[in-house]
Amino acid sequence: MPEDPDRSHDGRRVVVAGASGLIGSALVESLRGDGIEVTRLVRRPAEEPDEVEWLTDARPLDPGVLDGAEAVVGLNGASIGRFPWTDHYKNTLLWSRVTPTQAIARAVRELGGDAPAFLTASAVGYYGSAPGARLTEHARRGETFLADLCGEWEGAARAAGDDARVTLLRTAPIIHPKGVLGPLMLLTRLGLSGPIGRGTQVWPWISLEDEVRAIRHAMDAGIEGPVNLTGPTRATANDLGFALARRMNRPFVLRAPVWAMRLALGADATEAVLTSDMDVVPAVLQESGFVFRHRTVEDAVAATVPAAD
């Protein structure tokens, strides 16, 4: 989206890594819509004036790329929605998150007191499965593969140094056809949707619009440390499934047994993504005055899935 020449960004500039993904592209559009200059870090030869090539060879990220920016946002990472998680793909999940984060952290550290705020993606998978617990940003890390991955990811960001302004964006699955809804919509359209496992496990969630708004709120409010980017209302796997089925005017009856999911997807993916139970609370966002546009999972589904006739 081209910038309105009559709108001034007042010298504000934000650097975004992972700008081609679902969250990154929406964030870039939002920033530019408000007249903020965006520099995109791309893993290919730069083709546009706002692009900077990085991570295509052994050269570190030039700190000068970040110099003068208000913030740098790191959103890199291979999709956790690709199954099964083979040992090779688990290495890809780790490398694609830790390596870019380390590169940004190193550049931030070299800039010292002149460095921009560093907002780095993480995930609510940090908490693992914790049935019955309400998980604020003070909760301990879990013990699943995904929790360990998030720990490595956040550790790479903290290497930016004690003086760096680091925000850890612990993001919930995005309620969007290109996010968590993708495979669920396919099954629902075919009339094959139903409870996953027992179906009563609590699933964190957030709409794409609120995800982008929350990132910008964390940036503008100067929030540091971990922040849970998840919707404010508790929802179970069944709540999401029923909301989607009603929106698409399809049945929600066929239960998917856990043993079958483990066989098809592998134990790590099943336990960390589909059958985990975690009531993650966006305490930092709420305490800092953030107001959600989509307060329930039903609202989030309605905002992105067209109603069936």
pLDDT, one tens digit for every residue, the chain (309 residues): 333 433 444 689 999 999 999 999 999 999 999 999 999 999 999 999 999 999 999 999 999 999 999 999 999 999 887 878 889 999 999 999 999 999 999 999 999 999 999 999 999 999 999 999 999 999 999 998 999 999 999 999 999 999 999 999 999 999 999 988 888 898 899 888 889 888 999 999 999 999 999 999 999 999 999 999 999 999 999 999 999 999 999 999 988 777 766 666 667 766 666 678 999 999 999 999 999 999 999 999 999 999 997
Tell me how crowded residue 26 is: count the other CB atoms within 10 A of its CB. Answer: 18
- Rounded to whole angstroms, the Cα distance separating 23 from 168 reads 15
Q: Which helix (H) or strand (E) holds 230?
A: none
- Rounded to whole angstroms, the Cα distance separating 145 from 138 reads 20
Q: Which helix (H) or strand (E) holds 193?
A: none
pTM of the model: 0.93
Tell me how crowded residue 166 is: count the other CB atoms within 10 A of its CB. Answer: 20
- 13-304: what CATH class? alpha beta
CA distances from 48 to 135, 200, 248 (A): 42, 48, 40
Of the candidates 38, 7, 6, the residue with the CA atom closest to the CA atom of residue 216: 38
AA letter at 141:
R
Q: Which helix (H) or strand (E) holds 40?
A: strand 37-42
Tell me how crowded residue 94 is: count the other CB atoms within 10 A of its CB. Answer: 17
Number of Cα atoms under 13 Å in the Cβ half of residue 170: 30
